[in-house]
């Protein structure tokens, strides 16, 4: 039984918070010149500095006690061993098996799944290299250089983010496109840019029934058939799916169907055949380096004591803010243009996983679970929502991510970028007092009247937490490490909150209701009952569309 009223460690943290609230980070830094060293961890070339947080040794010790009380070590072992920790769907959770570079056996229902995973990866390697080298060509014999991924959710966000993050590694003659939204504009804009003879479409749908994906796929199929004929479909479409019957009915050769498994959830599927477009774009060896990086983080996560375990530390600090400070949001800012879609990817990973209100005990929770996540690329966002981060009434814990070395070292660009990320962390922590503001305005020659008018506007409360994550460079290995780090952070928080991080029933309700509304919009008579607002909106839209 879990609940804040029944949990010893939780009560201990509530007690600590009562006397810790109001503590100033800058005072803790002044009192401890080794604070940054004490609250930093390094894994290979990845450094995580979490010293600019509202924590001390007492807080962290209590958080580690909470993790132990919740049985985190055992829960980690259960996930990696293939136990069915996705209890609502009775499934194992084994995206980690896809990057098991040790190739040790992992069992589900008494069967080692590694041989089928290895076979699937071999098939991805062979096909991706055949496309890159021109051995698998289009219907007219031309090389396939336009690769279009048609998917939604985890079948789009993961590969899209990774392809953009690793754009530096793309083959020079390959272009990647993504269609996800049911809005026809998504199809139209991509189809207007590509040539049927040189285009390969990847349909990413496990069941081959997802309405958005299949609607987009059929539109693309018609476009191709109109240009090249029905027989071209088998040479220009492949499927990432398990539904052989529907795949073949679509016109795709089942040899070009790439499977994945029920133990791999959509938002964790980037390591599976869903990563096909990544392997084509950057080459299979680089795709393997992504797997290697994720495996390095997996080993760290499973083998390192909590006190030095990066995902565990980040997760527990998030719990501290969410459940004791009452801060139900956080921000992720990559200071790298290649990573600009990383926050959107994390939104699904975090909010779809932990946006839950029912515990594993089948009860409504009486505490906050998953926070709201937002973000964007620095320095762009410094000129948008950073005003709120610095001077808003809401505190927003923030992760700052930056590579020490850029792929594009042009002039002083990267040094300026690095200076900005370091300055933002310092400014959010330190702030600027009214006395400091007054001194600054006096030095600028402002009158006393002007100073009195401006001193509050130009002051900053500070004491706003950040984690700074420094990578050597954004490459396949470091990206794999970074993704796996956040995967495990989200999992740890789900364990602490006693929720199932691996189902997503909240995705389904609105989509099912849309199927009832669609016939009405198409002019069919249905007796579906709606609220008066929805009925009026249906009538108005039908009137406009006439």
Neighbouring-strand partners of residue 148: 177, 201
Catalytic residue among 8, 193, 299, 511: 511
Three-state secondary structure call for residue 111: strand
Phi-psi sector, 71: left (phi>0), alpha (psi -120 to 50), beta: left
* Helix boundaries (H) for 356-433: 386-391, 413-430
CA distances from 286 to 57, 173, 278, 279 (A): 40, 17, 9, 7
Q: How far is 270 from 264, CA to CA, in rounded Å?
A: 9
Confirm whether 246 is a catalytic residue. Answer: no
Q: How far is 482 from 476, CA to CA, in rounded Å?
A: 10
Question: If residue 201 lies in a helix (H) or strand (E), which one and from where to where?
Answer: strand 199-204
Smallest Cα–Cα separation from 314: which of 377, 373, 246? 373
Three-state secondary structure call for residue 93: coil
Confirm whether 352 is a catalytic residue. Answer: yes
Catalytic residue among 34, 172, 383, 456: 383
Is the distance from CB of 92 to CB of 263 less than 8 angstroms? yes
| Dihedral in degrees, nearest 10, Cα atoms 227, 233, 235, 240 | 130
Confirm whether 383 is a catalytic residue. Answer: yes
Q: How far is 107 from 83, CA to CA, in rounded Å?
A: 8
Catalytic residue among 197, 352, 487, 520: 352
For Cα atoms 149, 158, 78, give the angle at the middle one, nearest 5 degrees.
130
CA distances from 520 to 81, 413, 505, 512, 532 (A): 49, 55, 25, 14, 15
Is the distance from CB of 101 to CB of 292 less than 8 angstroms? yes
Neighbouring-strand partners of residue 332: 375, 399
Is the distance from CB of 151 to CB of 136 less than 8 angstroms? no
Provide the annotated active-site residues: 352, 383, 511
């Amino acid at each position: 039984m879990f609940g804040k009223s029944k949990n010893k460690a939780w009560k201990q943290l509530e007690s600590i918070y009562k006397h810790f609230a109001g503590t100033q980070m800058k005072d803790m830094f002044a009192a401890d010149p080794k604070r940054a060293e004490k609250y930093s961890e390094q894994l290979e070339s990845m450094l995580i500095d979490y010293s600019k947080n509202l924590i001390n040794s007492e807080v962290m010790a209590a958080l580690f006690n909470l993790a132990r009380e919740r049985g985190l070590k055992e829960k980690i072992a259960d996930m990696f061993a293939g136990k069915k920790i996705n209890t609502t769907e009775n499934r194992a959770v084994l995206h980690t098996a896809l990057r098991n570079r040790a190739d040790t056996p992992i069992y589900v229902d008494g069967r080692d799944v590694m041989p089928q995973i290895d076979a699937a990866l071999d098939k991805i390697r062979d096909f991706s290299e055949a496309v890159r080298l021109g051995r698998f060509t289009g219907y007219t014999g031309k090389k396939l250089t336009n690769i279009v991924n048609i998917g939604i959710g985890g079948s789009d966000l993961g590969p899209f983010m990774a392809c953009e993050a690793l754009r530096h590694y793309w083959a020079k003659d390959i272009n990647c496109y993504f269609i996800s939204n049911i809005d026809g504009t998504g199809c139209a804009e991509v189809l207007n840019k590509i040539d049927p003879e040189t285009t390969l479409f990847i349909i990413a749908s496990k069941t081959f029934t997802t309405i958005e994906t299949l609607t987009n796929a059929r539109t693309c199929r018609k476009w191709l058939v109109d240009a090249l004929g029905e027989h071209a479909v088998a040479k220009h479409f492949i499927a990432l799916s398990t539904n052989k019957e529907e795949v073949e009915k679509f016109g795709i050769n089942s040899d070009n169907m790439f499977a994945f498994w029920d133990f791999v959830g959509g938002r964790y599927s980037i390591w599976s055949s869903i990563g096909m477009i990544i392997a084509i774009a950057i080459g299979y060896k680089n795709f393997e380096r992504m797997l290697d990086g994720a495996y390095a983080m997996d080993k760290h996560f499973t083998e390192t004591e909590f006190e030095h375990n990066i995902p565990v530390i980040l997760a527990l600090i998030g719990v501290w803010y969410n459940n004791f400070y009452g801060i139900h949001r956080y921000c992720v800012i990559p200071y790298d243009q290649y990573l600009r879609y990383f926050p959107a990817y994390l939104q699904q990973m975090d909010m779809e996983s932990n946006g839950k209100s029912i515990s594993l005990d089948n009860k409504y929770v009486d505490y906050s679970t998953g926070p709201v996540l937002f973000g964007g690329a620095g320095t762009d966002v410094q000129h948008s929502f950073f005003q709120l981060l610095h001077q808003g009434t809401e505190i927003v814990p923030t992760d700052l991510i930056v590579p020490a070395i850029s792929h594009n070292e042009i002039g002083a660009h990267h040094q300026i970028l690095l200076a900005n990320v370091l300055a933002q962390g310092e400014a959010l922590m330190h702030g600027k007092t009214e006395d400091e503001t007054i001194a600054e305005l006096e030095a600028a020659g402002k009158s006393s009247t002007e100073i009195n008018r401006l001193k509050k506007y130009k002051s900053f409360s500070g004491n706003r937490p950040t984690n700074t994550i420094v990578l050597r460079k954004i490459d396949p290995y470091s990206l794999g490490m970074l993704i796996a780090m956040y995967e495990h952070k989200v999992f740890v928080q789900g364990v602490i909150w006693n929720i199932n991080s691996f189902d997503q029933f909240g995705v389904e309700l609105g989509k099912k209701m849309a199927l009832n509304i669609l016939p009405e919009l198409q002019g069919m008579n249905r007796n579906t009952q709606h609220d008066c607002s929805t009925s009026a909106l249906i009538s108005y839209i039908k009137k406009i569309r006439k």
